[in-house]
Amino acid sequence: MADSRDASRRAGRRGASRVGDEGRGASSTERVERGPGAGDEALAGFYRDWKREGRHLGEYASEGVGTAVNVFCVVGVVSVVFGASSPVAHAIPAVPLRLFIVGLLLGGVGWLVALSPPGKLSGAHLNPAVSLGFGLLGKMHARDVGGYVGGQMAGAILGAVVGVAAFGRLAREVAHATLHPGAGVGPTAALLDEGGATFALTFLIYTALSHARLRPWTPALVTVAVGVLVWLDGNYSGAGMNPARWFGPAASVPDWSRAWVYVAGPLAGSAAAALLRRSGLLTHPLPHSGKIVHDRTYRSIFKDDAVPSTPPHAVRRRTTGR
């Protein structure tokens, strides 16, 4: 009987230790580069080496696929909701309501991409500004930021070209869903608006991913935030908040006249959000993961994860010989 009670106490202590590990914030590489063989120093070391030096082409390609889907849906949704000959534009004459619908639908597309296998692999950034922010937060190596941005821009062109072909006349009626400031809005004002909107969006993302209770709700929070921001800013700056979202439609026209507004604005906004989180003014400053939806059964290229992930087979083979 005594042996049984001792065993129960030992099991309880082990369980409490695991719970404590899961709840602790990101403060050292010891936390979790976990996966099979948690606590195995050799495995953890090989996993860190792979994150720093390994081939991450699958993640880059996943960002390309996800961004292509996202931009295709941008072209499609904007065409159907705002095309002059679309029945939707006549059925819903209120422009603010249509903007809100567009924002919710596109936020929902990002949510679905984040839940897909490519999204769970790469983290579904779909936005160079988001990837830059994670780099400034110390969650990504510089080469991976470059790989993500390259994949996103290539995917944006593909998505826009296919979207324009699919939606034809409606897409032409909305100039391929290109971004432009509203009537009477100058480029400087649009730049500041894009920076402010992107700051709000990315600060929400980095904050939600920094809290264990909020982390699972990140896609839902982003969907609502995109809906609100597009509703507020769609008639002002266009509410792009994403250089890839601007780049794909602009390349399909082509029209590069407002590049600095829709590239510099979002990048500056995201950088400001990341630097604020690193400033020491906030509790829980660093995201637990660089993924919008984190699934522990997938590998992770992100540094200092505070949630478990599964090392790739090549890393596990180095420790097991199989």
The answer, yes or no, to whether residue 273 has pLDDT greater than 70, is: yes
Model pLDDT for residues 116-145, shown as the tens digit of each residue: 999 999 999 999 999 999 999 999 999 999
> Is residue 182 scored above 90 in pLDDT?
yes
> ∠ at Cα 107 (227, 71), nearest 5°?
120
Residues with Cβ within 8 Å of 228's Cβ and at least 6 positions away in sequence, in order, are 100, 103
Predicted confidence band of residue 39 (pLDDT cuts 50, 70, 90): very low
In the predicted structure, residue 114 carries a pLDDT above the cut 90: yes
The whole-number average pLDDT for the span 36-45 is 68
Domain ranges of the chain: 52-277
- Residue range 193-240, pLDDT digits in tens: 999 999 999 999 999 999 999 999 999 999 999 999 999 999 999 999
Residue-level pLDDT at 28: 36
Rounded Cα gap, residues 29 and 254, in angstroms: 45
Average pLDDT score over the chain:
88
Higher pLDDT, 26 or 213: 213
CA of residue 79 relative to chain centroid, distance: 24
Read off the pLDDT band of 322 (50, 70, 90).
low
Whether the CB-CB separation of 243 and 127 falls below 8 Å is answered with yes
End-to-end CA distance of the chain, in Å?
Answer: 42
Percent of the chain's residues with pLDDT above 90: 79
Question: Is the pLDDT score of 13 beyond 60?
Answer: no
Closest C-alpha among 17, 23, 116, 103 to residue 62: 116
Residue 260, amino acid: W
> Mind listing the pLDDT tens digit for each residue in 299-309?
999 999 999 99
Distance (Å) of CA 5 to CA 10, 73, 203:
9, 59, 48
Q: What is the pLDDT of residue 33?
A: 45
In this prediction, what percent of the chain has a pLDDT beyond 70? Answer: 87
Fold of the 52-277 domain: Glycerol uptake facilitator protein (1.20.1080)
Residue 34 clears pLDDT 90, i.e. is over it: no
pLDDT at position 280 is 83
Cα dihedral across residues 239, 240, 242, 243: positive or negative: negative
Token pair listed for 44:
């953890």
Residue 41 confidence (pLDDT) above 60: yes
Residue 321: predicted pLDDT:
60
Mean pLDDT of 99-127: 96
CB atoms within 10 A of CB 24: 14
The helix/strand/coil state of 174 is coil
Long-range contacts of 142-148 (CB under 8 A, 24+ apart): 144/56, 144/59, 144/301, 147/56, 147/57, 147/59, 147/60, 147/63, 148/59, 148/60, 148/63, 148/122
Model pLDDT, residue 241? 97
- As a whole number of angstroms, the longest Cα–Cα distance in the chain is 82
Rounded mean pLDDT, 162-187: 96
Mean pLDDT within 76-93: 95
Predicted pLDDT at 8 = 45
Neighbours of 178 (CB within 10 A): 23
